[in-house]
A = this chain, B = another copy of it.
Amino acid sequence: MKLKMNVEARCGDARATEVTLPRGGFKTPIFMPVGTMATVKAMTTDEVASLGAEILLCNAYHLYLRPGHELVESAGGLHRFMNWPGLILTDSGGFQIFSLRQLMSIDDHGVSFRSHVDGSAHQLDPEKAMAVQAALGADIAMAFDHCPPSDAPRAKVIEAMERTTRWAERCVIAPRPQHQVRFGIVQGGLDLELRRRHLAEIGGLAFDGMALGGLSVGETPEQMHEVLEAIAPTMPVDRPRYLMGVGRPEDLIIAIGHGIDMFDCVMPTRNARNGNLFTRTGRVVISNAKNRQALGPIDEDCDCHTCRHYSRAYLRHLFACKEILYSRLATLHNLHFVIKLVGSAREAIIEGRYSEFARAFLAAREQH
């Protein structure tokens, strides 16, 4: 295997691991900031690295459309193109094609879809999805999957699941760069029996890691937690476990408790730009009138650059004036919060006190 995983500590189902890849490594649990268009929105890569991020998620679908994977390849790959010294995981594009509702047709060969940018017609199939991710030079490439909506009838969930397995078999044998590892994606909606069946199918293929897809797509947090509780601890112990698209602080803490290692989500960065800032005791809505004269920081206990140097009143002013600096300072704060939270969870696992840590974190939020 090109991927090596060392489980350093266990605490209940939660675990702390070290993952080593050909071009670098990371420690889990880990949150991967999202750089959809080859940029973590509003951030430089220097800033993202200074927050302690070790691996970014970029998006093969979006980069295939703009600027094109061939261009990125000719620029020396995505790392060099976007000036990122760490690792990159690319999503395959399956989720975007279904969620952006650009789908024209789907069959076992692949999908036809329209670009959400200019309406042009495109085809994507497992081989092409892997070729795009190879051209981008991703350290971790995701299998090309069929992700049904959260309210899909059972027959549709089964159809998507079975197709995802057939596609996964093709993804696993597609050519890949020397340095690249691949993760499979488990579908099956909210049905635990389907999830178990699909986990067995995908787990039987030669993937280096396993992801849970089709969650955080419209179901309630409780529904998602039920799937996590039943499925996450049964995922292969010797491979990283990645919960796709999850980033709500409460969900991170619960999922880590069930043994998830990796996360990505646009929520910290998108919420920041929309005026919602994370704190230990819940969110701050920066536009609230009570922040107009608030000369203290977003969070008195936070040691991020934003909280050390800027008041809520200043941030509210920048937000009201639609100033770019607002998005920068807010994004920096929210990413710092999530990365630090996941780092604290890791420490708690290593120190054997994860359940107390999780209970205290969740209780502090319920009180507010």
Contact = CB atoms under 8 A, between A and B. Distances in A.
Most B-side CB within 10 Å, residue of A43, A44, A327: A44
B318 A37 contact: yes
Given A37-B318, A293-B71, A317-B66, A83 B324 contact: no
Contacts of A66: 317, 320-321
A311 B37 contact: no
A323 B41 contact: yes
Interface stretch (A74-82, A97-105, A183-191): A74-82
B42 A317 contact: no
B293 A74 contact: yes
Interface in A312-343: 313-314, 316-318, 320-321, 323-325, 327-329
A321 B74 contact: no
A43 B329 CA distance: 10
A314 B82 contact: yes
A39 interface: yes
B71 A292 contact: yes
Contacts of A23: none
Contacts of A295: 74-75
A324 B327 CA distance: 9
A252 interface: no
Each complex incorporates copies of this chain amounting to 2
Interface in A37-52: 37-39, 41-44
B37 A317 contact: yes
Contacts of A82: 314
Nearest to A41: B324
Nearest to A45: B309
Interface in A295-320: 295, 309-311, 313-314, 316-318, 320
A325 B42 contact: yes
A310 B71 CA distance: 14
A12 interface: no
A309 B317 CA distance: 32
A83 B313 CA distance: 13
A318 B67 CA distance: 9
Interface in A63-96: 66-67, 71, 74-75, 81-83
Interface in A7-64: 37-39, 41-44
A67 B317 contact: yes
Among A37, A43, A83, A324, residue most surrounded by chain B Cβ atoms (within 10 Å): A324
Contacts of A317: 37-38, 66-67, 71
Most buried by B among A42, A83, A317: A317
Contacts of A83: 309-310, 314
A4 B39 CA distance: 47
A314 B38 contact: yes
A45 to B, nearest CB: 8
Contact of A328 (B44, B71, B318): B44
